[in-house]
Amino acid sequence: MFRSVHFLSLSAVIGPVVAMLWSLLFNDLVPFLAIIGVIIGAFGVFFFNLLFSITGVDTRSAYYNSSWYGWDTFVQAITLPFNILFTNFDKVIFDKSLTNITIGKVAHSQGIGVFENLMMFLFMGLVNIVMLNLLIALFNLRVSRMANEALGIWRKTYFGMLREYQGLSPWPPPLSFIWFIYDFVRGSCKCRKGRKFVRVTQEKAHWWQDESKYPENYMKFLEFQANQLRRIRPRLLLSNFGSNNQQDELAELTEATGAQLADNYKKLVKERRRTI
């Protein structure tokens, strides 16, 4: 799956979107999950002690003294805030009792009143309204900031792919090991470490965002793209006129423009002779 995303990122249309997606996940979503994880953990422990108070549990029962009680406590404390976050209100409907409390089924009659009338709205106002809208605002800010950088990041990725395939063996397996031996003998280990250090340093410095920091081989790559575009530009212009009639109209427009320029040139020459 990740290999497929890597190949899709080489597209000029999908590549910038993939670059934005990785930035949104690791630069915005991960810190947001760390913050909201603390909030959910705090509210989960509070909700559990509010709904399933120890005063209403039979501490002499075998279930209370078994390991399953601790596991059910952990699961209920974690799932309670998530059910409210994703509006699964059918999972937070409990029966009321003062003495016969069961985790996940029967809650304390006084605690459930405070939970339904106050704490649920407080949690939804803090998490569902404030935190989720904050995440959307962070995503919008990140996308607007990367609108100009995404194209440069895609060019860097595409350039890295070209460099990767440039160093591959021109011979298919199993004869490819000959090329790798030749490539190993040709370059010393010291030069390889130097190139690796320069490459890592350049990537850390975000060299693709500053034209003055472009390496020489990357400038050759951009020059090659510019030459190819300059070579096929007339063909692209003609391709916009698909039918024969449209091509004839383009030829007539070109001829009329040339004739108009010739007439203007003749008038300019005559006026110049008069002044002389």
Which of 214, 173, 237, 229 has the alpha carbon at shortest distance from 12? 229
Reported as a single tens digit per residue, the pLDDT across 145-179 is 877 677 777 777 777 777 777 777 777 777 777 77
**pLDDT for res 271:** 65
Reported as a single tens digit per residue, the pLDDT across 53-75 is 877 776 777 777 777 888 888 99
CA distances from residue 70 to 75, 94, 103, 134 in whole angstroms, order as listed:
9, 20, 11, 34
Residue 198 has pLDDT above 50, yes or no: no
CA angle centred on 48, ends 42 and 53, rounded to 5°: 130
Distance CA 124, CA 134 (A): 14
Specify the pTM: 0.53
Distance CA 94, CA 101 (A): 10
3-state secondary structure of 96: strand
